[in-house]
């Protein structure tokens, strides 16, 4: 069995023309019939070509160095003073005369400048090829990240929030409910009403690490809330208003879809990536998320931190999902937990005897209305969920 060195010796003899006619013909036939041998010969040619180019660059550099040294020596040649008859003298600079050395250098340059130009071109190509190869290798072996980002946002303007909390305290609140002290690392997301009597839905990652929650509506109504249940797998959380003076959200205008939505459906959301509610719309582009989890939809809506926990609705006003995250490396790709999983979660919790029973809405008041009218009715049931750690 031939080793790599044996093959290289054979290829080298072939290139130098040292093989006998029979051996040469046999090798050429094998190269044409055996792709692996042909690939090995191509690699040998590439390697030897690179080595030859390198040797040529070294030789050219050495010759150019000698040329440069000779030119410097010629420039530093001394001025020779010669005398003529009668006592007159004149100076001769030896660099003004063409010495034998300079003549040889000029002859060398005229005879080899084409070769040196080719060698320089090969050197430049070799450098750029090496850089391109390294960049390709790094790109191919770089770790691939999914780039999925949860969409809760950091809350700004802490002083303004603190003042709002202080205004919330009035004579109807018992002395044990006090405005929390200002603390660092606050976050916010979106939530929406699950039932008329004080239950809300948001994303589980929005409330992660929270020891107190504040829910704020469009008309600046503010309520303290507590976590009833969190489903981290499906990124869903159920909250409950715990303020004693809370009565009701009013009749919810939307219903929760228990089945699957169709691909290509126009969908929209309303959320709080900033202090004001922001509307976004797009289409349902997949029935699973980036890693194939069928508990989520993929939608083509540009979303930002703060949209997490917002409602995802179809054109008829049916709530079909809860906004969860976005994919950073795909423009406009976002994900939402399916409402069918939310409905199952609510059904499973009914058996756990909550403080108040769950009464999901059964009448859709958004169907048939235009989008502006739908949003006017919807915005009173979508809230900012503010997290204090």
In the chain, where are the structural domains located?
34-77+99-140, 152-388
Q: Which pLDDT value is given to residue 357?
A: 65
Beta carbons of 290 and 148 less than 8 angstroms apart: yes
Q: Which pLDDT value is given to residue 140?
A: 55
The helix (run of H) or strand (run of E) holding residue 189 is: strand 187-193
The CATH class for the domain spanning 152-388 reads mainly beta
The helix (run of H) or strand (run of E) holding residue 219 is: none
Q: Which pLDDT value is given to residue 30?
A: 82
Q: What is the DSSP string of 68-106?
A: HHHHHHHHTPPEEEEE-TTS-EEEEEGGGS--HHHHHHH
> Cα–Cα distance between 7 and 3 in angstroms, integer?
6
The token pair that represents 233 in the structure block: 């797998």
- Residue 61 — φ and ψ, nearest 5°? -60, -40
One digit per residue, the tens of pLDDT, for the chain of length 389 reads 667 777 778 888 888 888 888 888 888 888 888 878 888 888 878 888 888 888 888 888 888 877 777 777 766 655 555 555 555 555 555 444 455 666 666 666 666 666 666 666 666 666 666 666 656 655 555 554 456 666 666 665 444 555 555 555 454 444 444 444 555 447 889 999 999 999 999 999 999 988 899 999 988 889 999 999 999 999 999 999 999 999 999 999 999 998 999 999 999 999 999 888 999 999 999 999 888 899 999 999 988 888 999 999 999 999 999 999 888 766 778 999 999 999 988 888 776 655 566 788 888 999 999 999 999 999 999 999 999 87
> Cα–Cα distance between 337 and 295 in angstroms, integer?
6
> Cα–Cα distance between 387 and 389 in angstroms, integer?
7
Q: How far is CA 361 from CA 161, 249, 318, 358, in A?
A: 32, 12, 11, 10
> Cα–Cα distance between 330 and 223 in angstroms, integer?
37
Strand partners, 83: 89
> Cα–Cα distance between 202 and 101 in angstroms, integer?
88
Q: Which pLDDT value is given to residue 104?
A: 62
> Cα–Cα distance between 269 and 200 in angstroms, integer?
16
Whether the CA torsion 311, 314, 315, 319 is positive or negative: it is negative
The answer to pTM > 0.75 is no
Residue 383: which of 332, 310, 323 has the closest Cα? 310
SS3 207: coil
């Amino acid at each position: 069995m031939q080793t790599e060195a044996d093959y290289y010796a054979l290829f080298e003899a072939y290139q130098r023309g040292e093989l006998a006619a029979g051996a040469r013909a046999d090798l050429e036939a094998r190269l044409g019939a055996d792709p692996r041998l042909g690939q090995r010969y191509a690699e040998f040619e590439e390697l030897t070509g690179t080595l030859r180019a390198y040797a040529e660059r070294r030789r050219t550099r050495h010759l150019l160095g000698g040329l440069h040294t000779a030119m410097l020596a010629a420039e530093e040649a001394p001025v020779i003073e010669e005398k003529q008859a009668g006592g007159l003298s004149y100076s001769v600079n030896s660099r003004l005369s063409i010495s034998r050395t300079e003549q040889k250098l000029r002859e060398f340059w005229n005879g080899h400048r084409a070769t040196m130009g080719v060698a320089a071109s090969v050197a430049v190509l070799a450098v750029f090829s090496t850089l391109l190869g390294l960049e390709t290798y790094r790109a191919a072996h770089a770790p691939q990240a999914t780039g999925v980002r949860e969409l809760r946002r950091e809350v700004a303007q802490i002083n303004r929030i603190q003042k709002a909390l202080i205004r919330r305290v009035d004579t109807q609140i018992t002395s044990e409910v006090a405005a929390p002290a200002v603390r660092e690392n606050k976050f916010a997301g979106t939530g929406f009403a699950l039932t008329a009597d004080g239950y809300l839905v948001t994303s589980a990652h929005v409330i992660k690490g929270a020891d107190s929650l504040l829910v704020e509506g469009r008309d600046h109504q503010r309520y303290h809330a507590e976590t009833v249940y969190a489903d981290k797998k499906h990124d869903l959380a159920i909250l409950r208003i715990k303020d004693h003076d809370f009565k009701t959200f009013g009749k919810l205008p939307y219903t929760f879809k228990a089945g699957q939505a169709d691909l290509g459906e126009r969908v929209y959301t309303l959320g709080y990536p900033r202090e004001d509610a922001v509307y976004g719309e797009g289409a349902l582009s997949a029935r699973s998320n980036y890693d194939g989890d069928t508990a989520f939809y993929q939608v083509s809506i540009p979303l930002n931190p703060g949209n997490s926990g917002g409602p995802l609705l179809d054109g008829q006003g049916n709530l079909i999902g809860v906004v969860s995250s976005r994919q950073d490396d795909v423009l406009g790709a976002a994900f939402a937990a399916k409402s069918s999983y939310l409905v199952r979660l609510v059904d499973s919790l009914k058996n756990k005897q909550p403080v108040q029973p769950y009464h999901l809405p059964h009448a859709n008041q958004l169907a048939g209305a235009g989008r502006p009218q739908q949003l006017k009715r919807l915005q009173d049931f979508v809230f900012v969920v503010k997290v204090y750690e």
